Structure 1
Amino acid sequence: MDKFIPLSVPNFNGNELKYLTDAVKTEWVSAGGAYVDRFEYEFAAYVNTETAVACQSGTAGLHLALILAGVEAGHEVIAPTLTFIAAVNPVRYLNAHPVFMDCDDSLCLDMAKLKKFCQDECHFIDNQLINKSTGRQIKAIVVVHIFGNMAHMEAVMDIAQAYNLKVIEDATEALGTYSLAGRYQGKYTGTIADIGVYSFNGNKIITTGGGGMLVSRDPGIMKRAKYLSTQAKDDAVYFRHNEIGYNYRMTNLQAALGVAQLEQLENFIAIKQQNYRIYQSRINNGLNGLKILTFRKDIRPNYWFYSLYIENPDKYSRKKIMESLAQDNIQTRPLWGLIHEQKPYLTNQAFMIEKAFSYYNRVVNLPCSSNLSAGDVDRVIKKISSL
């Protein structure tokens, strides 16, 4: 059998071992050490923010972000149904309630439906947006940049301003993506809204094995994020804690990996762009009924995932494509199960979900690692062409 081609795996061809060895030799391996500070500083410089706060995971970052946005028990938070469930679970950690929104053709939050929901399904009273059907206050929006694409941030920020909502950018899949035009030209995903969150899980464009990062243009938010992520320690000598905190600080070993990975990020993006263009050119121009989904034209994406879209479901089935490639030792995956259909969220409100169903049934994600060779790409395309 031919070699295994994974969906998305790390690329450790830089200074990872050097920095990890250095961290071990210093004996700073836990939630402290020079590499944590360095990673935060260099990450903030990359995305052009003043500071950044490293944490244990993207999920931990989202949990902190919701707290920092003022979300409390009984509040509602608008979130996409088409995303990984980790974008929504932290809402329930706080005993708040998600309201699910559809996607548009970027796979990101449908801003027209978001606006319609706020206008038609809510009251705006005393500077609070109140859901007519539940009577609860809507406090925030979680907007997710899917697969390295970029949600329409001008629209969501206008809506948030009109209705006094906080916006949390889930940029866990979109580190390196930035706008090329408009009000936010030059701005990276994660740096536009009130708080941005990134992930360094093993399948992300750079990885620390686990880990996440928070950014915000508000220095007060960043100071509080670091405070809460380090067990809300008010006196480090006598162990005084005036609030409930969390053990969410990134370890020095993770950060050592992160520093090495960040050094290679732009090269990773260039490789992923090159492979994406090969997939797109050969599939979109050579196979009727299939296409590679495009990214928005007014952004520089990070090309994290490559999504094969089935235009003709009578000719191709998602299941057959995935099974055929698996038989050839090629890993693929479908979109996540829509969150409003997951058992823990069946009773939550879902507003005009339509397009998400179509994409869920018709998308297969193809191998996209930054160490994917031209031969690997060719083999995947040839297998798809033979179906």
Structure 2
Amino acid sequence: MAEPAAAETRSRRSRSERDRSERDRFEVFGDRSASRWPLVLTAVVMAALAAAPVWVEATDRGYLVTVLTRVVIFGLAAMSLDLVVGYGGMVSLGHAAFFGAGAYTAGALTFHSLDGSALLGIPGTDQALITWPAAAVIGGLLGVVIGGLSLRTRGVYFIMATLAFNQMVYFLFNALEIYGGDDGVGLFAAGRSIGPFDASDDLVFFYVCFAVLTVSVVLLNLVVRSPFGRVVRGCRDNQARMAALGYQTYRYRLAAFALSASITSLAGAMAVTESQFLSPTYAEWSESGELLLMVIIGGLGSLIGGIIGAAALFLLEEFSIDVTDNWQFFVGLGLLAVVLGAPRGLTGALLGRERRNV
């Protein structure tokens, strides 16, 4: 009797180790994501990002404020993608579809307001206080549709399904001749008025975007630390086990996917407001790859890693351009060094001691 009992114990231990290994592939902080060090790192990164524009203005590098604004916008999109990939284990190559949907929602409302055909004849529909929430709603609904179908598949088939939907959305935007088709359309006459703020000033616009990012950071941290977030992580680790425990795993995963899509669309609306130019390039599949790259560089399953990854990518590009004409080569080398030298991303490297204690 002792031998079967010992064999069963070894079998359970082996399964536990496999589950832990599978979890560690995705999440920097394991099941102790509520520990204080990740929150400390989040606070430090957000404080540094808030202070960065003041520093670049003081050092006569004001042009970098635009770069920092892009870090905030794409960091927001990457952070929302991390909710799906890092916490949900759903590797998506279709999030550019949501980014583009947000851009086209905000851009279309602005375009029609400029040409005198405002939505339902209501004035002010070009204002960010209208276009940004509208983009988030449209993105969430699109996420329900795309996620609802894609989540019927798993593994590489899920990746290909999201990529296929991304391409469908991209070519749809490409066919909209009213918005310039493949060439896009300028929205420069709209300005960048956001409620009581005159965001035509780059510094003001940065802090408006930063405020949105801060709220989103708090929201997503609350989500992943909630019972809902624990179920989503459980579905990532062992979906069959969660289903056996009575959880509607499909609904939980779909809700996480839709929330991620909504926030990504909000980022897309912010991007088109920043550039004042609407183009199908917002929905190109390469944008999905870039967002995923930011998450991997920053660290899967950390949220703040998406922002760190966006900062690393954009700042590396910016400073490489100043040094050499072959900047893409050196950007590639830098990214390769990060991937090989920090397999858990920059966040995992920064919190190496914390990770080893998990």
With normalisation by structure 2, the TM-score equals 0.26
Q: Which structure would you say has the larger RCO, counting Cα contacts within 8 Å and 6 or more residues apart? A: 2
More strand by share: 1
More helix by share: 2
